[in-house]
Amino acid sequence: MGSSDELIFRVDRADGAFAALASARAVVVERHFSPDQCARWVEGVYRARAVWTHDFGGEQFTLGRAFYTHFEEGRSRAYFAETAESDARVDAHAPGLQQAMRDLVARVVGESRAVQRRGWCGPGVHVFPPGGPVASRGGVHHFDTEGLAVHHVEKRRPAISLVAMLQTTETDGGLKVWDVRYDGRDHPKREELRARSATVTYGVGDVVLIDSYTLHQIQPFGGARERISATAHAAQIDMGLWECWF
């Protein structure tokens, strides 16, 4: 099995990080968010526990609604029916997080702004509980192509995912990336899993940027803490126009 840290670039500024994806499979923007900011958002996320969205029968949770979980559970209708409520919940409990993630997308791609995707939920928060399936076995191997329009995927138009780590796990829980690009299949072939790979390790406030067509997987983790991260998916719709969603 190949492994290479050259697949991961570490930078200390978000600006233009997108360009680095030409030669790396993941770019880590170190300490983009301050520990204080992350702690405030995490407090808000815990206070909002009663209104977390339960995904896959309570195996994982979100603040706000995430498209891929609804899509995979055949609940897309619920996702699209309650986008305003989803955004209101995120903003009430993690004030400023959605805008901060959109601002981050803009900086990463080098534009003055990135816009909310109309009719979709804005950036939100994933909560993976200790002892849950992701903690014990790791996440599913996947590409972040579910939310992209079919023609966007067909043309492999630019699309990215940004994950900001708000609360790290006690052990492990990094993001493994492979030197494997989406080829039209949702699940990787056995030999693709033997391609070069590397695992991104996160600190609080670090942001990981990946191309949405890159194979990736959350690694198993230990300890008693939830893994809490903010995510924005974004697609370049036109020259200079990037749209964001969760």
Ligand X SMILES: O=C(O)CCC(=O)C(=O)O
Nearer to Fe ion, 14 or 160 (CB): 160
In the list 229, 230, 242, 243, the residue contacting ligand X (rule: CB under 6 A) is 229
Report the site for ligand X in 99-138 (rule: CB under 6 A).
126
The answer to the question of residue 55 lying near Fe ion (CB under 5 A) is no
Check binding of 175 to ligand X (CB under 6 A): yes
- Picked from Fe ion, ligand X, none, the partner binding residue 229 (CB below 5 to 8 A depending on kind) is ligand X
CB nearer to ligand X: pick between 109 and 200: 200
> Closer CB to ligand X, residue 21 or residue 175?
175
Site for Fe ion in 129-168 (CB under 5 A): 144
CB of 34 to ligand X, least distance (A): 20
Output the 3-class SS for the chain.
CCECHHHEEEECCCCCHHHHCCCCCEEEECCCCCHHHHHHHHHHHHHCHHHCEEEHHHCEEEECCCHHHHHHCCCHHHHHHCHHHHHHHHHHHCCCHHHHHHHHHHHHHCCCCCEECCCCCCCEEEEECCCCHHHHHCCCCECCCCCCCHHHHHCCCCEEEEEEEEECCCEECCEEEEEEECCCCCCCCCCHHHCCEEEECCCCCCEEEEECCEEEEECCEECCCCEEEEEEEEEEEECCEEEEEC
Interface residues with ligand X (CB under 6 A)? Answer: 126, 144, 161, 163, 175, 216, 218, 229, 231
